[in-house]
Amino acid sequence: MKDVIYIPSPNWNERPTGIEIDTIVIHYTGMESGNAALKRLCDPAAEVSAHYMIEEDGRLFQMVDEEKRAWHAGVSNWCGRDNINHNSIGIELVNPGHEFGYRAFPKPQIERLISLLSHLKSCYNITENGYVGHSDIAPGRKLDPGPLFPWKLLAENGFGLWPSCDGKNLSKGMMDGQENDPKSDYAIKLNKQLGIVGYHLDDIQSFDATHQSVVRAFQAHWRPETVSGQVDIGTAMVLEDIAGQIRQ
């Protein structure tokens, strides 16, 4: 790739033998500036890193070689596997995040991200549901990249899935608390669909605060106009659509 600024981080190790890269994890830096984020990602005391960081003006930094295991995902699970650092590439987008003034991701930054994803797609077998946010693989613990991230635009460019149905105007008409009944067939169906998408749930028989955090992560990715953790009709439609695409 052209115009890559190499600033090596010491925070990496070898990937386990036999592990293939099939997942891209997108983060926001969640710090007051890109320089502060870059310093932390290269600080051995911080013990965090990512393969790439993209500034708001589109500058692309590489801290860890793609074949190495960067330390960006932390405690994580996706598609039945934990420790997603093993099989993923981590991309940090400079953004203050929810703590310092979350804002939309600028056009030059997203254009550079799409260019980087094109490169990665040409090199690795990234699965259709392998383009995820940090909140997808660690719901309840992480919020990034958040509901302002343009997942739909990425899907339109061939990076990930987007629903064919539009649930935007169906935020009313909650599902009558069915998901809260541990004996409800609806709760089981809902949790199974979340599992098909890739989310980890130890208990599929009920719907509690843990399940709500997973729904919030799903909404931030595929239904960003309603990030509530509540399953309204629109969310149910979008979830069924995405799960159906993955089944096929």
pLDDT tens-digit map of 65-74: 999 999 999 9
**6-25 pLDDT, tens digit each:** 999 999 999 999 999 999 99
Q: Is the pTM for the entire model greater than 0.75?
A: yes
Min mean pLDDT across 38-42, 62-66, 186-190 is at 186-190
Q: pLDDT class for 172, splitting at 50, 70, 90?
A: low
Whether 176 shows a pLDDT value over 60: the answer reads no
d(CA 84, CA 26): 12
Does 145 sit behind a cis peptide bond, omega within 30 degrees of 0 on the bond before it? yes
pLDDT over 80 (residue 235)? yes
Q: How many angstroms separate the CA atoms of 155 and 117, rounded?
A: 11
Torsion angle defined by CA atoms of residues 245, 165, 234 and 137, in that order, rounded to the nearest 10 degrees: 40
* Beta carbons of 179 and 231 less than 8 angstroms apart: yes
pLDDT at residue number 179: 52
Alpha carbon distance 89, 170 (integer Å):
35
Instruction: Give the pLDDT score at 241.
Output: 96
Residue 55 known to be catalytic: no
Domains identified in the chain and CATH numbers: 4-156 (3.40.80.10), 178-247 (1.10.101.10)
Rounded CA gap, 40 and 48, in Å? 7
Give me the catalytic one of 66, 92, 99, 128.
Answer: 92
Closest C-alpha among 129, 236, 139 to residue 191: 236
**Tokens in use for 49?**
């890193």
Contacts of 194 (CB under 8 A, 6+ apart): 201, 211, 214, 215, 218, 239, 243
pLDDT in the model for residue 193: 97
Judged against a pLDDT cut of 80, whether residue 148 lies above it is answered with yes
pLDDT digits over 188-225, tens only? Answer: 899 999 999 999 999 888 888 999 999 999 999 999 99
Token pair 């393969």 in the structure block, residue: 51
Q: Specify whether the CB–CB gap between 52 and 92 falls below 8 A.
A: yes
The Cα 20–Cα 16 span in angstroms is 9
DSSP state of 2: -
Instruction: Report how far apart, in Å, the C-alpha atoms of 30 and of each of 6, 17, 68, 93, 181 are.
Output: 21, 32, 24, 9, 37
